Amino acid sequence: MPFASNKLVKLALGVLLGAALGNSANAQILIGQSAPLSGSNRELGEEIRDGALAYFKKVNDAGGVNGKKIELISLDDANDTARAGENGRKLIEERDVIALFGYASATLSRPALPHAEKNKTPFVSPFTGADPMRVFNRYVYNHRASYADELEKIIDFYANVGVKSFGVLYHEDAVGRENLTAVQRAITKRSFRAATNIGIPRVNPDIKRAVAAATAAKPDVLITTTLFKPSADFIKAARAANPGMQFVSTSFAGPNVLMRALGADGAGVAISQVVPPVTNKAIPVVAEYQVAFEKFTGKPNFGATSLESYIAAKMLVEGLRRAGRDPTRESLASALDGLSGFDAGGFIIGFTPSNHNGSTFAEMTVIDKSGKFKY
């Protein structure tokens, strides 16, 4: 009998241990991200990752979401579309993440989207305002304004000071041409003139040729819709060749990354933003972000992209809270569908079952001589 009792005790302990391990395995909520964490666009990927991690740490330190901690699994895609797509498949099918989050552009997002659709996985907060990712998709949730919203703001900004001649620098691919179309739409609506449209490849762009085209056309304002490195290289060279020309970028380049790349040549360059001023602590979410981001990174390196990611992470966590104690991909999607008028702290995001574009907020900033943004 003692032997039988010992066996029963061991069996009971085994069941309890298995249950504990099972609960431990389910005590985390896995979020998947693919981002350029190496290569020329590394700084942008790191800002997106770190802004989200700052908020997830804040949540985890307070006990998690419904008692469960959040883990962000970030895979490096080096700004390569094929790797971004494969990373999406791995994250969904092998790592079993509940959602994809924080892809750094439309070109990186689109190869992963079929995997999200196939597995009915929410694709939350791709960092892009490009039209192809704004078309309604059951599983895509955009937290920010579109590039069309930004470009409307840009054209209005310059129209108010009498500027009517614009040039556009864009990437020669499907997404880049969509951005060009958005500029043309905003210009045409106001009967302004497109002085020149300059297309460049994403890889190995011919900056010298682009500058020559801008110099020949001489627009009053040149709008760049390109990655930060070609944008910075182009603006530096074009400014030297055309001292009176004005330059403005969409948020696609990454405001802080572009400002650092421009250095002294950044003074006077305008950049549209899709979040409130990162310096304005009177806005609750900005004050909250500054504390959390500095606590996470150890440095007050505040920027619009990491603030945008912090806000996006806060929105995602609210969806997870509403998705229940044991959230699934489907319950998260349903929760996000009902996230209408969510106030992240002075920044409103709203979804409905038929509209997954959560914000249209955009405003203009200009880099001053001290290398800071003026709003």
| Confidence band of 375 (pLDDT split at 50, 70, 90) | confident
Q: Render 153-206 in DSSP notation, one character per residue.
A: HHHHHHHTTT--EEEEEEESSHHHHHHHHHHHHHHHHTT-EEEEEEEE-SSS--
Range in 142-156, 177-191, 258-272, 332-346 the model is least confident about: 177-191
Amino acid at 24: S
Domains and CATH numbers, the chain: 24-145+281-361 (3.40.50.2300), 147-273 (3.40.50.2300)
Contact 76, 36 (CB under 8 A): yes
| Whole-number pLDDT of residue 114 | 98
Residue 27's pLDDT is what? 82
CA quadruple 50, 51, 54, 59: dihedral, nearest 10? -130
| Mean pLDDT value across residues 321-344 | 97
* Segment 23-75, tens digit of pLDDT: 344 589 999 999 999 999 999 999 999 999 999 999 999 999 999 999 999 99
Res 331: pLDDT: 98
Two tokens, residue 269: 């360059």
Coil, helix or strand at residue 216: helix
pLDDT tens digits, one per residue of 165-192: 999 999 999 889 998 999 999 999 998 9
Tokens read off for 348: 């409103």
pLDDT, residue 15, reads 41
| Ramachandran sector of residue 204 (left: φ over 0; alpha: ψ -120 to 50; beta: rest) | left
pLDDT above 90 covers a percentage of the chain that reads: 87
CA–CA dist 309, 346 (Å, integer): 15
> What are the Cα distances from residue 313, in Å, to 49, 58, 146, 309, 319?
10, 11, 18, 6, 10
Please give the share of the chain, as a percent, with pLDDT higher than 70: 93
SS3 249: strand
Q: In the prediction, which pLDDT does 289 show?
A: 98
* CB within 8 Å of 152: residues ≥ 6 apart: 186, 362
Find where tokens 């979401």 sit. Answer: 65
Rounded Cα distance between 116 and 93, Å, is 10
- Indicate the average pLDDT of the chain: 92
Instruction: Provide the token pair at 171.
Output: 């990437």
**pLDDT tens profile 255-277:** 999 999 999 999 999 999 999 99
The predicted model scores a pTM of 0.90
- Residue 37, SS3 per DSSP: coil
Q: Quick check: helix, strand or coil at residue 139?
A: coil
- pLDDT confidence of residue 26: 59
Residue 316 corresponds to which tokens in the numbers above?
A: 């995602």
User: Which segments within the chain are labelled E, that is strand?
Assistant: 28-35, 69-76, 99-101, 123-124, 140-141, 165-171, 193-200, 221-224, 246-249, 270-273, 342-343, 348-349, 363-367, 373-374
Give the torsion sign (CA, 291, 297, 300, 304): negative
Contact 236, 265 (CB under 8 A): yes
Whole-angstrom distance, CA of residue 268 vs CA of residue 131: 28
Question: Is pLDDT above 70 for 8?
Answer: no
Residue 243 has pLDDT above 50, yes or no: yes
Q: Indicate if the pLDDT at residue 231 is higher than 50.
A: yes
Phi/psi at 69 (nearest 5 deg)?
-80, 150
Buried b (16+ CB within 10 A) or exposed e, 259-277: bebbeebbeebbbbbbbbb
**Residue keyed to tokens 């994809």:** 100
Strand 99-101 relative to strand 348-349, pairing: unpaired
Give the residue-averaged pLDDT of 159-168: 92
pLDDT classification of 17: cutoffs 50, 70, 90: very low
Between 288 and 5, the more confident residue is 288
Count CB atoms within 10 A of the CB of residue 300.
Answer: 8
